[in-house]
Homo-oligomer: A and B are copies of this chain.
Amino acid sequence: ASHAVRSHLSNHTPPHQGSLPGSLLQIIHRTSSCPGATHSCIFNALHDASGACLLHPTHFMMLPKLMSRGPSWRQASRLLRSPRRPYSVRMPDEAYSYIKSVADLRAWQPGTDVPDVEVCGWVRSVRKSSGVRLIDITDGSSMRPVQAVVDKKLSTDMRPGAAVRLKGTWYNAKNGPNADSDVSNSQTTDEKALEGDSEPVSRVNGDRVGQASAQAEGDAGSAQTMHELQVSDVEILGSCDPQTYPIQNKYQTPESLRTISHLRSRTPLNSTLLRLRSDATALLTQFFFQEKFQQTHPPIITSSDCEGAGEAFAVKAGGPAEFFRDPKYLTVSTQLHLEALAQALGNVWTLSPTFRAEQSDTSRHLSEFYMLEAEMSFVRDMDQVMDLVQRMMRSLAQGLKLLNAANELEENRLDSRDPAERLAFADLVDRRELQRRWRGLLVPSRWPRITYTEAMEKLQPVTAKFEHKPVWGGGLQSEHEKYLAEEVGYDKANDAYVPVFITHYPREIKAFYMIRSAEPAAQGETVDCFDLLVPSLGELAGGSMREHRLSELEDNMRLHGLEVPKRRVAASNDMIWYLDLRRWGCPPHGGFGLGFDRLLSYLTGVPNIRDVVPFPRHYERCDC
């Protein structure tokens, strides 16, 4: 059938030119109108011999645009066939060539044995069985390994940690549909019965490997899959002495793993966290592309020392003179520069490293962290900024639910029988608690938005709960934020933690660039700003409407004790450029910043954000 679809397509386009018609819709329209089209033959039609997807990345991105262009979109593009390239898993038959990684292989349970499958990866563990070794192999693509069954003689140097290349047959170790109920019985096939038999059968050199394997699995409980790789060839790519290897196939505390940050991403949990980070980055990029926000690269080295608050790192080159003439600093937030770019491009965003030289030693702070910041021109209503935050986070959560890493964190926890894995999961936030977070992110209704003043009214009756008394005009302490997130944000009907926006803080405790609210609270003036609070972490994001009028901005600066720079005596490091943005054609605008690492910590239930970044930097700690 897949051949029929391809011929069908090739009536319209010469496949030898390495191209297909330019529109996803067109391809799928044609494919699906082909008689006898099934999902797998459509899949094959959309992929070339090496399994590479024939749809160009831009086809999806371009869909609305191509459609609006009318007939011209038909000629718009040509597709590139990827040449075959080395994935960690290689299939002998091009029909299966979309299987490229251990994750793909694990998910693939064909009805018949498939010989000549090549798998590269690292040995996670080795278990003995009669005459064979049962070896867990991982390539970093999935939290759990595939199991390789290797003859004892071949397995000599296959020790935990080693990098290997294996070749063998992918087969069903449980041999048939009733294998679950009676494993040993179904393994009694003798060598003769194998010949010409298309049923999946497991053996290595005549041993009853499937049986051994199934029993070992029952003991160790390391794998759900019934499929294994029956290995015929072994190549050691990089050997490993498990005696000295700091990553052991047993539980290690997050604290001890942090002392070996160059190795810890090899553990099942840490590698999965990094894959989730990658998924999140791709999804956010796609989200903002579709929202027509321009992704920008605001500078890392900037002139602002954050008002001398001592939180900025200074940047120095060798030699006595200043490399940039004046002292320069690592950015603490890209917002001010984003505002300049929003006045050129409309709506902009960035995912940039930012830096704080705070000597705090908490689970929520890093000296180097990624901030997602966005800025929108022509917006007067702060609700629209909060709408964007919610839409973005909901879209991210929905997207992650479709990708592997987040699902592995969720599902592997349910059936975890490996003690090391169970203990690693036990370090995370309780599973039901984590599900409350995800349900809250996914609610279709608008997340609660209450003012700071309303928040104070909720806090003051329960003052006794707090170390710091909640007082109008003072900041919200971490304990206040957590209380609000858990009380206001708890959605009983759905047993969900819905993030909570706290808006309109007192003017004096918020940044000088925020716009003064049109209507002050009874207790005093406020600004149009918001913090987004979630349980455990507190503040996840913050945003505001920016003061877009020059004289009002200057007033704010004076109120906050900042010097208002004059054009005539402009110095390299002053804020004259930021005031300039208000001098010529500044529309109402607003935006937000979100701590990307905190968000990942919230989504994964990892209590300390040091464990969601590959190489954490904080006070007195910067390894590698």
Contact = CB atoms under 8 A, between A and B. Distances in A.
How many chain A residues sit at the interface, stated as a range, is 35 or more
Contacts of A328: 622
Given A282-B285, A294-B274, A346-B101, A262 B310 contact: no
Contacts of A572: 622-623
A138 to B, nearest CB: 9
A256 to B, nearest CB: 16
A594 to B, nearest CB: 15
A315 interface: yes
Contact of A265 (B28, B278, B340): B340
> How many copies make up the complex?
2
A139 B86 CA distance: 45
A317 B622 contact: no
A240 interface: yes
Interface stretch (A180-188, A200-208, A520-528, A582-590): A582-590
Contact of A57 (B42, B283, B324, B336): B283
Interface stretch (A167-175, A225-233, A393-401): A393-401
Contacts of A120: 377-378, 587
A543 interface: no
24 contacts: A18-B444, A25-B28, A58-B399, A58-B402, A69-B107, A80-B444, A82-B291, A120-B377, A122-B585, A140-B294, A140-B345, A163-B587, A262-B337, A265-B340, A265-B341, A297-B614, A301-B622, A323-B619, A324-B367, A324-B617, A325-B622, A337-B624, A340-B614, A578-B624
A466 interface: no
A353 interface: yes
Given A285-B285, A302-B622, A318-B357, 15 more contacts: A25-B28, A25-B39, A68-B107, A83-B387, A86-B376, A139-B377, A141-B292, A141-B345, A141-B346, A245-B584, A262-B578, A274-B294, A282-B295, A299-B615, A572-B623
A398 B444 contact: no
A466 B139 CA distance: 49
Count chain B CB atoms within 10 A of each CB in A357, A581, A584 and give the residue with the most.
A584
Interface in A275-319: 275, 277-278, 281-283, 285-287, 289-292, 294-303, 310, 313-318
B391 A299 contact: no
A617 B42 contact: no
A239 B585 contact: yes
B274 A344 contact: yes
Given A301-B355, A584-B240, A265 B46 contact: no
Contacts of A316: 313-316
Contacts of A281: 285, 295
A213 interface: no
Contact of A86 (B237, B271, B296, B379): B379
A553 to B, nearest CB: 12
Contact of A88 (B107, B377, B581): B377
B43 A64 contact: yes
Interface in A605-624: 613-615, 617, 619-624
Contact of A325 (B87, B395, B401, B620): B620
A60 interface: yes
A282 B286 contact: yes
A317 B620 CA distance: 11
A78 interface: yes
A244 to B, nearest CB: 7
A214 interface: no
B378 A85 contact: no
- List of 6 A-B pairs having minimum Cβ-Cβ separation, nearest first: A60-B60, A57-B286, A163-B587, A265-B344, A317-B357, A324-B622
Given A29-B32, A286-B286, A345 B271 contact: yes
A100 interface: yes
A230 B482 CA distance: 53
Given A28-B25, A58-B399, A577 B53 contact: no
